Amino acid sequence: MERTPLLSAKDIEIEFTLRGKVLKAIRRCSLDIYEGETMAIVGESGSGKSVFTKSFLGMLDANGRITGGSITYDGVDISQYKTEKEWMTIRGKKIAMVMQDPMTSLNPLKKIGKQIQESIELNQGIHGEQAKKMAVEMLEKVGIPDAARRANQYPHEFSGGMRQRVVIAIAAACRPQILICDEPTTALDVTIQAQILDLIRNLQRELNMTVIYITHDLGVVANVADRVAVMYAGQIVEYGTVNEIFYDAWHPYTWALLSSLPQLGIKGEELPTIEGTPPNLFNEVKGDAFAPRNKQALDVDFEEEPPFFAVSETHKAKTWYLDPRSPKIEQPQSIRRLREKMERERK
Amino acid sequence: MPAKEKLIEIKDLQITFGAGRKKFVAVDHVNFDIYKGETFSLVGESGSGKTTIGRAITRINPVSSGEILFKGQRISGKISKELDREVIKKCQMIFQDPMASLNERAKVDYIVSEGLYNFHLYKDEDDRKRKVEAALREVGLLPEFASRFPHEFSGGQRQRIGIARALIMEPEFVVADEPISALDVSIRAQVLNLLNRLRKSRGLTYLFIAHDLSVVRFISDRIAVIHKGRIVELAEAEELFLHPLHPYTKALLSAVPIPDPELEKKKKLLVYDPSVHDYSKDGPVWDEILPEHYVYGNQRELDQYRREIQQTQA
């Protein structure tokens, strides 16, 4: 079945100019987002997952720019947008974003209700009393008790979890088609984290949204995602359905990420770790960017960049391991152990 | 089995902040022991008082009532100056946020040797340099890093500097306050391995403070679950995961993300409602329900917990 993607990023390249030097943050990155799905983008800090999604909203920092590729949304290539005016037709209205830190993403001088009202007035063209009423309704929807009273309070009177609910309310009040959640729970406690994930899931169903999660927590990914994309050094290296990534990963970086999880560690034994550091993106990356940290790297990994190989119709990995010419490489023991362990626990 | 040596004993500890109408009880009648060589974890949500306990042991927060013993000696409240210095040396702390806990204006060399300066624990300048070098090597950093500033390092490296700073004092007991919460996944494993390795090589004892039970299961021998300043359950790590009894422990466990999509999507989230406890007639007690497994509850609840255990064992 051939579905047309809601948003399609193709061969995106993003560069930043820093102290006269050029940093290639995103190196030809492609991703399709389908309507109604939940996509999770995973990777370590600095892998470019935030920068990549920020480019869908024209929210790159002033020293950054898209230097190649296209982002097709609604039949238009939005990567060509230049002015704020153009971006304002997308940002908030069509694609909205929830930031990581609820402590800094609200205006401390404005009442909560007012901040939600603002987003309704700006994006839906409803004003005054009616917008105020909608703001209170939105607060109720995100599970804040006694919403009418709470709307008249300031952000400092809210706890971290409650503030994140408000931030979500502001984003959802614009009725966007796509909601991007950038590490929505990293700053929160586990118990609150689970509640926020539930909330986003319910809103998604109710408002018919497509959700993109950016996270480094694979537990969160397992909970929410339909599909997963793994990012490393400015590229997507593997993507597939959530089960394919967790049970049948093929890229060595995905293996390393999964096997370093403390949840899967065996007590008394060392956890497998990823040695070394990610490549410096100021320099040209040759071959497979992960090769220097991969103990099982093939010679060709250092020479030539691998293309995507299909594992299944929905699952692709950018590694020479899947090339029929490469020597037979088995998935590492930890991945197999993960699968076995999970099968046991499922019983 | 030989009796385990108690390194830290906490007896009826209470810590309050403020006085009069604004009084807030942060830690409420807490009792537990930490044995030598083990990793003891305190788990709870933010504001539950877990950090306050850690800070009380390192003598940062004063104790309101109850006492803390270190190797059988009381170290809470008023103590002699020599003992105070001894405790500060032997009980070290690793902090949560490596971005905020290092002096931005000092070089790594000074940060790591600050404790040595304070107690004059070195013979001469060469000796101090040697000690700093050894500490940096031990945590997997290069000795050359000593002449750099904290902002030149990544989060994982900064946390290593924080660990080196604690280690150089040759502590016996280390309070690790959420040492990996602020780190990236790929670095978490490295820091956990480092902590485990140091425990073995140096015979350290840890008090590990965390809110994420999944990490705690891997690293700790025993776990105490704390809620609103009270410890509600204490057991060996595996035991706690197999037979959680207190409803708060269950809620906490249900919230732990599991990196398995099939399991995770079937999971039911439990929410802890403190009003399930009716302590109006029947007061709660701290009871050893199974060997080495303690839980807080009244008689009716304890009976119910016992039935639960029987059911799971049957």
Chain A nearest-CA distance from B269, in A, is 8
Chain B nearest-CA distance from A180, in A, is 20
User: Across the interface, which of B46, B257, B271 has its CB nearest the CB of A220?
Assistant: B257
- Tokens standing for A311? 């594992």
Dihedral, A255, A283, A78, A55 alpha carbons, nearest 10: 60
**Distances from the Cα of B76 to the Cαs of A2, B63, B84, B270, in angstroms?**
70, 6, 9, 38
Q: Which of residues 163-202 of A touch B (CB under 8 A)?
A: 189-195, 198
A1 pLDDT band (50/70/90 cuts)?
very low
If you classify domain B6-276 with CATH, what class do you get?
alpha beta
- Tokens standing for B258? 């599991």
Which one of B39, B225, B249, B260 would you mutate to disrupt binding with A, by most A Cβ within 10 Å of its Cβ?
Answer: B260
Q: Is the pLDDT of residue A52 over 60?
A: yes
Q: Is the minimum CB–CB distance between B263 and chain A shorter than 8 Å?
A: yes
Which is more confidently placed, A326 or B81?
B81
User: Across the interface, which of B154, B192, B265 has its CB nearest the CB of A262?
Assistant: B192
- Tokens standing for A80? 């060509």
Least confident of A79-93, A202-216, A328-342, B39-53: A328-342
Averaged in consecutive runs of 10 residues, what is the pLDDT profile of chain B (314 residues)?
Answer: 78 88 87 92 88 90 91 88 90 87 92 91 91 92 90 87 92 91 81 91 92 84 92 92 90 84 79 83 85 89 88 76
Q: Alpha-carbon distance B281 to B270, whole Å?
A: 27
Q: Which residue, chain included where needed, has tokens 């590490």?
A: A183
Task: Mark residue A208 as left, alpha or beta (left: phi above 0; alpha: psi -120 to 50; beta: remaining).
Answer: left
pLDDT value at residue A194: 86
Which is more confidently placed, A228 or B264?
A228
- Give contacts of B193 with chain A, Cβ < 8 Å: 270-271, 273
Q: At what angle do helices A333-346 and A252-259 cross, to 10 degrees?
A: 50
**Distances from the Cα of A53 to the Cαs of A37, A71, A95, A99, in angstroms?**
16, 11, 10, 12
- Tokens standing for A36? 């109604």
Q: Which of residues 260-299 of A touch B (CB under 8 A)?
A: 260-265, 267, 270-274, 277
Q: Is the minimum CB–CB distance between B214 and chain A shorter than 8 Å?
A: yes
Task: Mark residue A55 as left, alpha or beta (left: phi above 0; alpha: psi -120 to 50; beta: remaining).
Answer: alpha
pLDDT value at residue B270: 83
Task: Mark residue B273 as left, alpha or beta (left: phi above 0; alpha: psi -120 to 50; beta: remaining).
Answer: beta
Query: Which one-letter amino acid corresponds to residue A44?
Result: E
Chain B nearest-CA distance from A189, in A, is 6
Q: Between chains, do B252 and A271 touch, taking CB under 8 Å as contact? A: no
Least confident of A1-10, A143-152, A241-250, B86-95: A1-10
Residues 6 or more apart whose CB falls under 8 angstroms from that of B66 comprise B10, B11, B12, B13, B14, B29, B30, B76
Q: Is the minimum CB–CB distance between B261 and chain A shorter than 8 Å?
A: yes
Which is more confidently placed, A255 or B268?
A255
User: Across the interface, which of A221, A262, A338 has its CB nearest the CB of B215?
Assistant: A262
- Give contacts of B188 with chain A, Cβ < 8 Å: 260, 262
Considering only CA atoms, which of A139, A194, A273 is closest in space to residue B183? A273
**Distances from the Cα of B256 to the Cαs of A130, A190, A222, A342, B240, in angstroms?**
40, 6, 12, 15, 14
Residues 6 or more apart whose CB falls under 8 angstroms from that of A121 comprise A127, A131
Q: Is the pLDDT of residue A270 over 60?
A: yes
User: Does ipTM surpass 0.85 in this model?
Assistant: no
pLDDT value at residue B1: 42
Q: Is the pLDDT of residue A189 over 60?
A: yes
User: 3-state secondary structure string, chain A?
Assistant: CCCCCCEEEEEEEEEEEECCEEEEEEEEEEEEECCCCEEEEECCCCCCHHHHHHCCCCCCCCCEEEEEEEEEECCEEHHHCCCHHHHHCCECCCEEEECCCCCCCCCCCCCHHHHHHHHHHHHHCCCHHHHHHHHHHHHHHCCCCCHHHHCCCCHHHCCHHHHHHHHHHHHHHCCCCEEEEECCCCCCCHHHHHHHHHHHHHHHHHHCCEEEEEECCHHHHHHHCCEEEEEECCEEEEEEEHHHHHHCCCCHHHHHHHHCCHHHCCCCCCCCCCCCCCCCCCCCCCCCCCHHHCCCCCHHHHHCCCCCEECCCCCEECCHHHCCCCCCCCCCHHHHHHHHHHHHHHC
- Tokens standing for A106? 């609200």
The residue in chain A having the minimum alpha-carbon distance to the alpha carbon of residue B185 is A216
Q: Is there a contact between B240 and B233 (Cβ–Cβ < 8 Å)?
A: yes
Chain B nearest-CA distance from A334, in A, is 13
pLDDT value at residue A155: 92
**Distances from the Cα of A295 to the Cαs of A276, A298, A332, B189, B190, in angstroms?**
11, 9, 12, 17, 17
Q: Is there a contact between A199 and A142 (Cβ–Cβ < 8 Å)?
A: yes
- Give contacts of B198 with chain A, Cβ < 8 Å: none
The residue in chain A having the minimum alpha-carbon distance to the alpha carbon of residue B254 is A191
Q: Which of residues 121-140 of B touch A (CB under 8 A)?
A: none
Q: What percent of chain A has pLDDT over 90?
A: 39
Q: Between chains, do B218 and A257 touch, taking CB under 8 Å as contact? A: no
Q: Is the minimum CB–CB distance between B250 and chain A shorter than 8 Å?
A: no
pLDDT value at residue A67: 92
- Give contacts of A202 with chain B, Cβ < 8 Å: none
Least confident of A30-34, A142-146, A256-260, B278-282: B278-282
Q: Between chains, do A219 and B259 touch, taking CB under 8 Å as contact? A: yes
Q: How many Cα neighbours within 13 Å face the side chain of B143?
A: 8
Tell me the domain boundaries of chain B: 6-276
Q: Which of residues 30-69 of A touch B (CB under 8 A)?
A: 44-45
Q: Which residues pair with B24 in a beta bridge?
A: B17
Query: Which one-letter amino acid corresponds to residue A262?
Result: P
Q: Is the pLDDT of residue A338 over 70?
A: no
Considering only CA atoms, which of B209, B232, B235, B233 is closest in space to residue B222? B235
Torsion over CA: B78, B81, B82, B85 (sign): positive
Q: What is the mean pLDDT of chain A?
A: 87
pLDDT value at residue B312: 78
Phi, psi of A146, deg, nearest 5: 55, 50
The residue in chain A having the minimum alpha-carbon distance to the alpha carbon of residue B272 is A191
Q: For chain B, how long is the longest CA-to-CA vector?
A: 67
Q: Is the minimum CB–CB distance between B201 and chain A shorter than 8 Å?
A: no
Q: Alpha-carbon distance B202 to B225, whole Å?
A: 27
User: 3-state secondary structure string, chain B?
Assistant: CCCCCEEEEEEEEEEEECCHHHCEEEEEEEEEEEECCCEEEEECCCCCCHHHHHHHHCCCCCCCEEEEEECCEECCCCCCHHHHHHHHHHEEEECCCCCCCCCCCCCHHHHHHHHHHHHCCCCCHHHHHHHHHHHHHHCCCCHHHHHCCHHHCCHHHHHHHHHHHHHCCCCCEEEEECCCCCCCHHHHHHHHHHHHHHHHHHCCEEEEEECCHHHHHHHCCEEEEEECCEEEEEEEHHHHHHCCCCHHHHHHHHHCCCCCHHHHHHCCCCCCCHHHCCCCCCCCEEEEEECCEEEEECHHHHHHHHHHHHHHHC
Q: Between chains, do A219 and B190 touch, taking CB under 8 Å as contact? A: no
Q: Alpha-carbon distance A286 to B207, whole Å?
A: 45
The residue in chain A having the minimum alpha-carbon distance to the alpha carbon of residue B157 is A277
Q: Between chains, do A267 and B265 touch, taking CB under 8 Å as contact? A: no
The residue in chain A having the minimum alpha-carbon distance to the alpha carbon of residue B259 is A219
Chain A nearest-CA distance from B271, in A, is 8
Residue A195: burial class (beta carbons within 10 Å; 0-12, 13-18, 19+): buried
User: Across the interface, which of A190, A217, A345 has its CB nearest the CB of B263?
Assistant: A345
Averaged pLDDT, A124-151: 90
Residues 6 or more apart whose CB falls under 8 angstroms from that of A97 comprise A53, A54, A57, A59, A171, A179, A180, A181, A182
Chain A nearest-CA distance from B274, in A, is 14
CATH superfamily of A7-225: P-loop containing nucleotide triphosphate hydrolases (3.40.50.300)
Report how many Cβ contacts below 8 Å link chain A to chain B: 123
Q: Between chains, do A193 and B255 touch, taking CB under 8 Å as contact? A: yes
- Give contacts of B214 with chain A, Cβ < 8 Å: 219, 262-263
Q: Between chains, do B257 and A257 touch, taking CB under 8 Å as contact? A: no
Considering only CA atoms, which of B94, B221, B273 is closest in space to residue B169? B94
